[in-house]
Amino acid sequence: MPEKILVSACLMGHAVRYDGQSKPLIHPAIDRWRAEGRLVAICPEMSAGMPVPRPPAEIAAGAVGKDVLTGHAKVLEINGRDVTEGFVQAAENALSLARETGCRFALLIDGSPSCGSGFVYDGSFTGMRHAGEGVTAALLAGQGIEVYSDRQIEALVARIEALESPE
């Protein structure tokens, strides 16, 4: 059975980002996987009821997603509003969908306080970023789902091909 991939809806061209935009990922593998019915799209934030557009949010104080999941950090909007609970719910929704649909892999947009897997912004709303995962990426990875950023699509392609190629 072909491997299923949970994918950030913004990468599929859906205008669901905080700014009402999308960030379509153009790659032959995306077209092939879409045609094969492998892709399961989700915007974790929208699944938790967050609107589009919405104020920018970052994980506060240079923390990362696992810190949010353990209750040691917050996700704040630029206006100071605490949206931690929504981001935790968003991550749980993504994990539930991945489990329900048999996704072993996730392809997520980097930089997001939900989906970032290589980097997130530092909470200062100044464009400064640091290595780390967002809340959803951290929860998925912690539950054994292999998480790849949009910049790592070639690595994901290679991983899936290696799994599916006859020995």
pLDDT exceeds cutoff 90 at 58: yes
Tokens of 35: 């045609």
d(CA 60, CA 82): 10
Question: ∠ CA 68-98-129 to the nearest 5 degrees?
Answer: 35
Q: What is the pLDDT of residues 77-120, one digit of tens each?
A: 999 999 999 999 999 999 999 999 999 999 999 999 999 999 99
Cβ-proximal residues to 145 (8 Å cutoff; 6+ apart), any chain: 6, 95, 98, 103, 104, 105, 106
**Which amino acid does the sequence have at 141?**
A
pTM over 0.75: yes
- Which pLDDT does position 166 carry in this prediction? 78
